Chain A
Amino acid sequence: MSSTTRRYRRMACTGLALVLPLAALAACGGGSGGDTSADAGSGSGTISVWAHQGQKSEDAALQNAVKSFNSSQDKIKVELKLIPGNDYTKTITATDASKLPDVMEFDGPTMANFVYNKKLAAIDDYVSVKTMSNATPAAKAQGEIDGKHYGLGMYDSGLGIYGNKKLLDAAGVKYPTGLSDDWTAAEFTAAVQKLAAKDSDRKSLDLQENNGYANEWGTYGFAPVVWSAGGSLLKDGKAEGALDAPAVVSAMKTFQSWKTYVDSNTDGNAFAKGRVALSWVGHWMYPTYSEALGDDLVVLPLPDFGNGPKTGQGSWAWGIGAGSKNGKAAGTFLDYLLDDANVTAMTTANGAPPATRTALAKSELYKQGGPLQLYADQLAKPCGDSDITKTCVAVTRPLTAGYPTVTAKFSEALNAVYGGADPKSALEKAARAIDQDFSDNAGYKIQ
């Protein structure tokens, strides 16, 4: 290399370093106007809508709702964009607030972060009073921060264990009938082992391994193990002492011990095809499972690790982007989306508990005596996100802007534990990382 080129290279490098404006930092954090209310607009025109791509039936229900909305009136035209569910939250996170659509779906626990980042506008001014008052208490609570509402869901969610009655009876396994006579973790483990002994491939349990655990499914599906053991993901803004409590560690050891009996469920059909007798999953598998098993399907609560049975709660919800110039039209569309016809179509498609009072009252699945009564019973005993007692069942994931880190670290630890890592050190590591992140961000106070 000749000395001239070297000199020029050095000059170029120095120049480059000088030209870089530090102000550009603002583009990467902070600096956004701080205005979190959408403009009302004229109430007509085209509005963009982002939603997550879920199961085929859910997508179809949503597309139909959009189609019928567009043909029912000619003032507002809705353009729907579906984004793969696994990357949906990342997409919103990485998109600048001004580029977000008028109406967007978001996963319940991520809402606080989007409010904190000024990506969501309060919907109180744009959604009709009727729609607001028709939301179930649980759904309304999920969307509320400091007295303002940022989101409303069409449906809520719950976890349970689906059982194959024929296989359970053949193995002589006793199973609970409801929340009151729930199985303990030890009883559940014994049942799993007994079933596995009778099974040709020695696998008797499905934990939806095909979804992976280092993601939101890991947190949603298995945080109940933490809660049921008497711990929590976050207590008073700190994970240390809550997430790595001895009871949680031993519960995680139990969870780890199940892996031998778990079908990897690569085809997603382990339970539907009868390869396993138990499936630990949410309400959303009901349509598939009931079609496959018919009357042989039983719905059971998650096992009790000492602090009473627990389940996750909360689900996808709809909100209005903070940068929207057409809040009124967005509100009109949300009113339409949350009416009985659309909520019922959606909850029929995914088997979820409806999040509006009128639709819930009409629900064939969730009424008393209905096949999914258990889920309704669970949601009727809400804990909120901090007051996790022995008697309440449905726990809300931590309502904090730091949730992305909480879920990333917890699910990473869960995945490592499932893969054979030591639960104690994995949970301690996760707790330390979460606390570090909270202290870096001044506790994620929403301004």
Chain B
Amino acid sequence: MTSAQPARPARSKPRNRDWLHGLLMSTPAVAGLIAFVGIPFGYAVVLSFYNVRLGSPLAPSFFGVEQYRRLFTDPDLSGPFLRALLNNLTFAVVVVPLQTGLALALAILLNRKLKAIGLFRSLFFMPVVFPMTLVAVIWRLILARSDQGLLNSALHAVSFGNWGAFDWLGDAATAMASIIVLSVWQGVGFQMVILLAGLQQIPGELYEAAELDRASRWQQFRHVTLPGIRGTLVFVAMLTSVLAFRVFDQVYVLVHGGGLDEDATRTVMYQAVTTAFDQNNIGQASAITVVFFLIVVALTLIQRRVVRPDNED
């Protein structure tokens, strides 16, 4: 970024002090980041080079890049790991546009003067308040593979008895789709509220002016609404992508008691947690998280490049 040269040569002192003030003001946040993100991550990097076990009486032994070698070349480990990466990516690629689009649609739907609009808004927001684990348990009943499952019995009724029992969670083809649907259902309200706030900041005069210019509904949406919430939309999409990579709860709950196909829905977080806490293998789990961190950072940087929020307005 180059800014136009100031006319007078800038004095260096105040600029230095600005920098100092800036640093002082950001100290609390930076300290928090270092304490809660930086240091643990530093530990993870270090631990991934050791053979460390949770609570093992054996002293950690230096392992070099063995954990990483296994992660990428040991067929038993690399298979599930690469599959987990792919699952994560699939989840993100589907969920981000779907959830952002749906949130926008809902926000526009609920951005009007209606009686009891607050009631509708809270209805759509309600799933966000429930913990994901609880939502997963409820959806387990919806997606149950017997003909008693809510979804199966509904389809049975709609199709005049031509629909039998289908194993939504256990079938490799629909397992991930099931996870995606329940995740979107749970999360969409949150993005909706943010977008709703964005929509309400667009001045009404703009719409009036557009109407005077005989702009159609669609044109108003294209040329008034979208530019007005562009920043919000970009923010929501970014937030959703970061959250999408963290998917864990619903997979864990449903694998451990809902008959979910583990291979088709294993995510990297899931693998890291089960490696660390079911098999007590901290070194391996650290290596998984380090690789994952690098991938997510790379993807986020690419995303920042591609959709840069306008700072001009």
Query: Secondary structure of the A side of the interface?
Result: helix
- Most-contacted residue by chain A among B55, B277, B280 (CB, 10 A): B55
B274 is an interface residue with CB less than 8 A from chain A: yes
Chain A residue numbers with a CB within 8 Å of B170 are 419
Distance of A437 Cα from B258 Cα, bound (Å): 28
Inter-subunit contact A429/B57 (CB<8 Å): no
In the assembled complex, the CB of A218 is this many whole angstroms from the nearest CB of chain B, namely: 10
B58 is an interface residue with CB less than 8 A from chain A: yes
Q: Which residue of B lies closest to A96 (CB)?
A: B55
- Most-contacted residue by chain A among B59, B147, B172, B278 (CB, 10 A): B278
In the assembled complex, the CB of A273 is this many whole angstroms from the nearest CB of chain B, namely: 10
Contact residues of B with A, CB < 8 Å?
A: 19, 34, 38-39, 42-43, 46-47, 50-60, 76-77, 140-141, 144-149, 165, 170, 172, 255-259, 261-263, 274, 277-282
Inter-subunit contact A86/B278 (CB<8 Å): no
Inter-subunit contact A29/B256 (CB<8 Å): no
In the assembled complex, the CB of A242 is this many whole angstroms from the nearest CB of chain B, namely: 17
Inter-subunit contact B280/A93 (CB<8 Å): yes
> A20, A421, A432, A437: which contacts B46 (Cβ < 8 A)?
A20
Inter-subunit contact A29/B53 (CB<8 Å): yes
Per the 8 Å Cβ criterion, residues 135-162 of A in contact with B are: none
| Listed stretches A207-215, A323-331, A365-373; interface member | A207-215
List, sorted by A's number, 12 A–B pairs whose CB atoms are closer than 8 Å: A26-B60, A28-B47, A94-B277, A116-B56, A203-B146, A212-B255, A214-B262, A263-B146, A266-B144, A266-B149, A405-B279, A408-B279
Inter-subunit contact B262/A412 (CB<8 Å): yes
In the assembled complex, the CB of B103 is this many whole angstroms from the nearest CB of chain A, namely: 31
In the assembled complex, the CB of A307 is this many whole angstroms from the nearest CB of chain B, namely: 28
Q: Which residue of B lies closest to A4 (CB)?
A: B19
Chain B residue numbers with a CB within 8 Å of A97 are 55
Inter-subunit contact A264/B60 (CB<8 Å): no
A74 is an interface residue with CB less than 8 A from chain B: no
Inter-subunit contact A22/B46 (CB<8 Å): yes
Asked, given contacts A116-B57, A215-B256, whether A25 binds B146 with beta carbons under 8 Å apart, the answer is no
| Listed stretches A30-38, A284-292, A298-306; interface member | A30-38
In the assembled complex, the CB of A88 is this many whole angstroms from the nearest CB of chain B, namely: 12
Q: Apart from A266-B140, A419-B172, what 12 extra A-B contacts exist at CB < 8 Å? A: A25-B52, A32-B55, A34-B57, A94-B277, A117-B57, A214-B262, A215-B256, A215-B257, A266-B144, A267-B148, A405-B281, A412-B262
A416 is an interface residue with CB less than 8 A from chain B: yes
| Listed stretches A175-183, A228-236, A341-349, A439-447; interface member | A439-447
In the assembled complex, the CB of A408 is this many whole angstroms from the nearest CB of chain B, namely: 4
In the assembled complex, the CB of A25 is this many whole angstroms from the nearest CB of chain B, namely: 5
Inter-subunit contact B76/A432 (CB<8 Å): yes
Q: Which residue of B lies closest to A36 (CB)?
A: B57
A118 is an interface residue with CB less than 8 A from chain B: yes
A129 is an interface residue with CB less than 8 A from chain B: no
Inter-subunit contact A404/B55 (CB<8 Å): no
Chain B residue numbers with a CB within 8 Å of A170 are none
Asked, given contacts A264-B259, A408-B279, whether A117 binds B145 with beta carbons under 8 Å apart, the answer is no
Chain A residue numbers with a CB within 8 Å of B39 are 16, 20
Q: Which residue of B lies closest to A265 (CB)?
A: B146
> B42, B52, B172, B257: which contacts A29 (Cβ < 8 A)?
B52
Distance of A442 Cα from B51 Cα, bound (Å): 12
Distance of A441 Cα from B281 Cα, bound (Å): 10
Inter-subunit contact A214/B255 (CB<8 Å): yes
Inter-subunit contact A25/B56 (CB<8 Å): no
